[in-house]
Structure 1
Amino acid sequence: MSILKHSDFNKQKIGLRIATYDKSFYNNKDVENLHEMKLFIISNFKEKGEKSMKKQLLSSKEKEVWICECSKTNDIDEYCESCNKDIFGFKQNEMKPDAIVNYIEQKIELIHEYLK
């Protein structure tokens, strides 16, 4: 948790990777810690880019776009053409917070089943 709470975003990304590592033994306290970690990730890894609307060329229609931290405007659900990051600040080959949350939820379910 201390790495996830670090002020440096790159260190927080390392904390996300570490959150997926397994232990050889789990107990009820680990389940509590995993749940706390899951809630922290959900509440603290928000969109870093800003969503906006942009008028399309040769049309009066608007489409949703996002503006990256590097100031480049990108199509929604696409990686930045300039810095190759998504709206959350993650590159394509990095583990994303939503995938980590799903992994932690599955791990909690498995541990619950095992501890019964």
Structure 2
Amino acid sequence: MSPFKSSTGIPENLAATLCYLFPMVGGIFFLALEKRSRYVMFHALQSLLTFGCLALAHVLSGAVPIIGILASALLALISVLLWLVLMFHSIQGRWFKLPWIGHFAEKQIQRM
């Protein structure tokens, strides 16, 4: 467990993991409540952006006949794998950045 606590009173690594455990909702929750920990805010924003993009991709793949079903199945697999990998790294206290989304999230957090 992380010795550092977020402004919510929860250890940073646990708060970051909760951002991924409850995709999008956890990200919104911790972005709204967290005032101090850049680690938690980064993971909250990365979670919100990652799973928001995946949800949008699922909706768009549903509009494509035949290939959309295959794309949707592949997106579901990717979503579960990302969910597990991101939770694994966040509980260990790692600043694991996804390509593009992670770099964008980091830039936005630095502006705050």
Per the normalisation by structure 2, the TM-score is 0.34
Q: State which structure, 1 or 2, has the greater radius of gyration over its C-alpha atoms.
A: 1
Decide which structure has greater strand share: 1
Per the normalisation by structure 1, the TM-score is 0.33
